[in-house]
A and B are shown apart, each in its own frame.
Chain A
Amino acid sequence: MEIKDLIEKLETEFALPAETLKAETDFREIPEWGSMHALIIIAVVDTEFGVSLNGEDLRKASTLNDLYTIVKSKQN
């Protein structure tokens, strides 16, 4: 899965219009960012990549690109 697929998937799950999110988007700046968003990211990454993200992984990342890099590194 490419980063653009991850972004599209997250836009759908967050109920955001298409192309709202970019690789360089700081995901904490998503309007009304909260724990629901974090759970959605964890679930999407688990289902689509078979990778478990923990709270620490999320804390380390700020952009979606950071997140994708962490997912890819954990996948290998």
Chain B
Amino acid sequence: MAYFAVRGIELRALSAAVPANEERNEHYTRLSHSELKLLMKTTGVEKRRVAPKGMATSDLCFEAAQKILKELEWHPSEVDLLIFISQSRDYYLPSTSAILQDRLGLSVSSMTFDIGLGCSGFVYGLSIAASLLQSTGFKKALVLSGDVSSATCSYNDKSTYPLFGDGGVACALENTGKDHSWHFDTYTDGSGHESIIIPDGGIRNLLSEASFENKIYSEGIERSRLNLALNGIDIFNFSISKIPQSIAHFEQLTGKNSRQHDYFIMHQANMLMNETIRKKTGFDASQVPYSIRDFGNTSSASIGLTMVTQLADQLRSKKLNLLLSGFGVGLSWANASITADSIVCPDLIEL
């Protein structure tokens, strides 16, 4: 069991950045008008932000991070820890966190590393950063997460292209010793690793000419082995069964249920899936904000992006108890119960 609590850590700031370039699903040409209508109704995705060629996840995270450093009046040299969580890194190697350390002007005596997680990444990242701050005594951390998924989805794959959008977020955490606890519960089930996968280009299946060949899997599903492949039914089944179970378990462990949390912010995967989870977990619709309509599934940016675009006013002015849940590729999922007390939350950045 990977349940734990961390004491004395505060969320000081949260920001999000997206590409300015917007695509509307009503203009997607690989589905008929009625198919598009059903897709938008079911998945909830109407618009997505798509990065122009060459814009990387780290560019989005860099802007988001720089903005909060400035607003918090943190000097970059005060940041002891930077974690970059993404599945769309700048290079095969080196790690993107090193590039961000340099771009942001962090001290060379800082700890930085990448984590390769997707939809669960925002919650995993917070859990790791908070634990490290507590165990090391480091004071300040930046947790950057996001993905440019559009770069790896095939336009001719109706099962992926209209769902994913690009985005990056930045969280600033501080070890203040404040007398409160955050709770985390993390899960992994690698038996489902093929349910969301880019098969080629890693060491298992080295890049080859065959990697680039486009193959038609069924009508409207054409992609290469360098494109993201999604088994929607497997992921849907996994999410609507495991996530409510894990939330129920988490509520027992923390002793906090839907009444003790102001908001339940989920990874934005698919509106039908998210609403099914919401109903099964007993949260009121008013407690569950969504950004999926305007931004699609933004992978590890989704929870932060939803907070920035839907809850900014309250995050800036109130103390909120938040239940967070990220789930998907891996399979990997994680829940968190955290507080956010009058944090710095700049308006959405568009690049």
A residues contacting B by CB (< 8 A) are: 14-15, 31-32, 34-40, 42-43, 46-47, 52-55, 58
Does B11 interact with chain A (Cβ within 8 Å)? Answer: no
Q: Which residue of B has the minimal Cβ distance to A37?
A: B38
What are the 9 tightest A-B residue pairs by CB atom distance, in nearest-first order?
A36-B42, A55-B233, A43-B276, A36-B38, A43-B272, A35-B232, A32-B35, A39-B236, A52-B241
Closest CB in chain B relative to A72 CB, distance in Å: 19
Q: Are A39 and B42 in contact (CB under 8 A)?
A: yes
Q: Are A55 and B37 in contact (CB under 8 A)?
A: no
Known A40-B272, A43-B273, A53-B237; 4 more pairs at CB < 8 Å: A37-B38, A39-B42, A39-B272, A39-B273
B residues contacting A by CB (< 8 A) are: 32, 34-35, 37-39, 41-43, 158-159, 220, 232-234, 236-237, 240-241, 270, 272-273, 276, 279-280
Closest CB in chain B relative to A22 CB, distance in Å: 20
Cα A67 to Cα B115 in complex, Å, equals 42
Q: Which residue of A has the minimal Cβ distance to B233?
A: A55
Give 22 pairs: A residue, B residue, CB < 8 Å, sorted on A. A15-B37, A31-B34, A32-B32, A32-B35, A32-B38, A34-B35, A35-B233, A38-B232, A38-B233, A39-B273, A40-B42, A42-B233, A42-B237, A43-B272, A47-B276, A47-B279, A52-B240, A52-B241, A53-B237, A54-B233, A55-B234, A58-B233
> A39: which of B32, B37, B220, B232 is its contact (CB, 8 Å)?
B232
Q: Which residue of A has the minimal Cβ distance to B34?
A: A32
Q: Which residue of B has the minimal Cβ distance to A56?
A: B233
Closest CB in chain A relative to B31 CB, distance in Å: 9
